[in-house]
């Protein structure tokens, strides 16, 4: 019974987000039949965000958390949205069954079919092993139980959100206030853990982390759908999803769940993909999805608003197709000059002291990216592909996504060079966790660049054309 309750708890936000997207008719242009993987991929995180916003509203109204106040209303909403989607022909169970069947039995040449099945089997095995880790391992990571789970435990026991305050306010005896290592962190991640425990019916510091596995599965589905939406061959799109799901550090953040870095990576990647889709198609629904996800970035981690701002270069390039790349390049140069000017002062932003440290641990950063096992061969492959396809990165259709990725990488460089975060490079944790936020997007850009290069190659184009399309 507990297993069923837990499964329903994880499925609810997924069904809610999927139903909302289906009711909206997103994605609208489904000529390639990729709406199902996109809805599955985007659905979980969208539903989780809506669920936690609903919990915030309940707490503000003084309504206690529980199945009756959270599960049943949102389940009824999801059912109503799915019914509307079916009536409006935005969703068809028959078509969905056909797409799922094509995923398991694609129309591909024998060699490619064998590779396809091997990748599907590997992903299933990988997700299964991660599921075992989530089920067996108690809450383990340091920050997870001193910064995030503390809030989840208190809010679960009280059935509502109560404030966490700084140490001085807590020591002064602030009424109804609690304290932990990071009282100013956003509430979304703890609320998701609270809901999972409510669904289970008891507090369980291991079972509350199942959403992290759901996030990884949804991210893989979203990347597959986004790549197929751009015309990438089915097998290459599946390889792109595999590359992301096989990144060791991402898998670690599922097996050792409880940090907010994987949720931040998923929300930011989905926001970037939705923004990129809007840049190319200018569809109002794409804009709505992108704006919602971008606005949700600060709800995951405090620097999320900066990650949201890195989406702007892509929009600028899309709105100014002739001069956008030049305008963005000039903006980057101006920001760099301002940063260098700040290097002579020591202003504080979001608790970080801004000051250029010429003795930053760049050697440790190189070690983290190129010599250790956290990223497989991601940075070797990305540098090679992006260097070969450099010209295509400043041309439509890749330019908006390249601008977003460049802004994200520039933000990381700024953090490592101009804040005290550079001191944390020594232990190799900060650099890798911060890079996790943009790593999936870097994979997507690399695969799309490879796709554009293959289209320009008669040999590669012929190979792709010889393979029938799969779902």
Q: How far apart are CA 152 and CA 155, in angstroms?
A: 5
Confidence (pLDDT) at 321: 86
3-state SS string for the chain: CHHHHHHHHHHHHHHHHHHHHHHHCCCCCCCCCCHHHHHHHHHHHHHHHHHHHHHHHHHHCCCCCCHHHHHHHHHHHHHHHHHHHHHCCCCCHHHHHHHHHHHHCCCCCHHHHHHHHHHHHHHHHHHHHHHHHHHHCCCCCHHHHHHHHHHHHHHHHHCCCCCECCHHHHHCCCCCCECCCCCCCCCHHHHHHHHHHHHHCCCCCCHHHHHHHHHHHHHHHHHHHHHHHCCCCHHHHHHHHHHHHCCHHHHHHHHCCCCCHHHHHHHHHHHHHHHHHHHHHCCHHHHHHHHHHHHHHHHHCCCHHHHHHCCHHHHHHHHCCCCHHHHHHHHHHHHHHHHHHHCCCCCEECCEECCCCCCCCHHHHHHHHHHCCCCCCHHHHHHHHHHHCHHHHCCCCCHHHHHHHHHHHHHHHHHHHHCHHHHHHHHCHHHHHHHHCCHHHHHHHHHHHHHHHHHHCHHHHHHHHHCCCCC
Task: Please list the pLDDT of the chain residue by residue as tens digits (471 residues).
Answer: 789 999 999 999 999 999 999 999 999 866 556 789 999 999 999 999 999 999 999 999 999 999 999 999 999 999 999 999 999 888 888 878 887 887 777 788 999 999 999 999 999 999 999 999 999 988 988 889 899 999 999 999 999 999 999 888 888 877 888 999 899 999 999 999 999 999 999 999 999 999 999 999 999 999 999 999 999 999 999 999 999 999 999 999 999 999 999 999 999 999 999 999 999 999 999 999 999 999 999 999 999 999 999 999 999 999 998 888 999 999 999 988 887 776 666 666 656 666 666 556 678 888 889 998 899 999 999 999 999 998 899 999 999 999 999 999 999 888 887 766 666 676 677 889 999 999 999 999 999 999 999 987 654 444 433 444 454
> CA dist 247 to 123, 378, 389, Å?
12, 8, 23
Check residue 460 and give its pLDDT.
Answer: 45
The predicted pLDDT at position 90 comes to 86
Q: How many residues does the chain have?
A: 471
Q: Are 123 and 241 in contact (CB under 8 A)?
A: yes
Burial of residue 34 (CB within 10 Å: 0-12, 13-18, 19+) is: buried
* Among candidate residues 281, 215, 245, 226, the one with its CA nearest the CA of residue 37: 226
- The structure tokens listed for 115 are 């590779």
Q: Is 229 exposed, middle or buried (0-12, 13-18, 19+ CB in 10 A)?
A: buried
Rg of the chain taking only CA atoms, in angstroms: 22
- Residue 312: CB partners within 8 Å, gap ≥ 6? 407
**Torsion sign over Cα 103, 106, 108, 113:** positive
The predicted structure's pLDDT at residue 360: 60
Q: What is the largest CA-CA distance in the chain?
A: 73
């Amino acid at each position: 019974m507990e297993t069923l309750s837990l499964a329903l708890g994880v499925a609810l936000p997924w069904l809610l987000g999927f139903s909302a997207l289906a009711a909206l008719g997103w994605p609208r242009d489904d000529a390639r039949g990729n709406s199902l993987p996109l809805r599955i991929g985007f659905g979980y995180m969208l539903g989780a965000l809506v669920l936690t916003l609903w919990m915030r509203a309940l707490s503000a109204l003084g309504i206690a958390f529980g199945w009756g106040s959270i599960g049943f209303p949102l389940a009824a909403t999801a059912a109503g949205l799915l019914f509307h989607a079916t009536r409006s022909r935005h969703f068809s169970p028959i078509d969905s069954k056909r797409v799922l069947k094509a995923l398991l039995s694609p129309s591909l040449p024998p060699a490619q079919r064998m590779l396809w099945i091997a990748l599907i089997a590997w992903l299933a095995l990988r997700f299964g092993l991660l599921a075992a880790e989530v089920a067996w391992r108690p809450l383990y990571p340091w920050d997870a139980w001193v910064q995030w789970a503390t809030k989840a435990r208190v809010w679960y026991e009280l059935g509502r959100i109560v404030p966490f305050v700084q140490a001085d306010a807590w020591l002064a005896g602030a009424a109804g206030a609690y304290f932990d290592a990071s009282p100013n962190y956003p509430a979304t991640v703890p609320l998701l853990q609270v809901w999972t425990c409510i669904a289970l019916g008891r507090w369980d510091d291991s079972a509350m982390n199942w959403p992290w596995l759901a996030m990884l599965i949804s991210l893989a589905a979203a990347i597959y759908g986004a790549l197929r939406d751009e015309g990438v061959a089915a097998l290459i799109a599946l390889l792109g999803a595999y590359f992301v799901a096989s990144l060791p550090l991402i898998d670690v953040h599922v097996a050792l769940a409880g940090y907010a870095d994987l949720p931040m990576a998923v929300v930011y990647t989905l926001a970037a993909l939705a923004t990129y889709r809007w840049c190319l198609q200018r569809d109002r629904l794409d804009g709505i999805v992108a704006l919602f996800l971008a606005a949700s970035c600060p709800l995951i981690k405090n620097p999320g608003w900066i990650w949201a701002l890195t989406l702007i270069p892509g929009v600028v390039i899309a709105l100014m197709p002739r001069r956008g790349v030049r305008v963005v390049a000039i903006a980057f140069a101006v920001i760099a000059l301002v940063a260098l000017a700040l290097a002579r002062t020591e202003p504080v932003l979001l608790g970080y002291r801004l000051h250029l440290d010429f003795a930053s641990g760049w050697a440790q950063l190189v070690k983290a990216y190129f010599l250790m096992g956290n990223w497989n061969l991601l940075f070797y492959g990305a540098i090679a592909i992006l260097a070969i396809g450099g010209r295509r990165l400043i041309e439509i259709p890749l330019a908006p996504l390249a601008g977003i990725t460049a802004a994200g990488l520039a933000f990381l460089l700024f953090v490592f060079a101009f804040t005290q975060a550079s001191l944390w490079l020594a232990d190799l944790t900060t650099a890798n966790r911060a890079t996790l936020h943009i790593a999936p997007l870097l994979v997507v850009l690399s695969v799309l660049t490879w796709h554009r290069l293959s289209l320009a190659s008669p040999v590669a184009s012929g190979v792709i054309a010889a393979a029938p399309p799969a779902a």
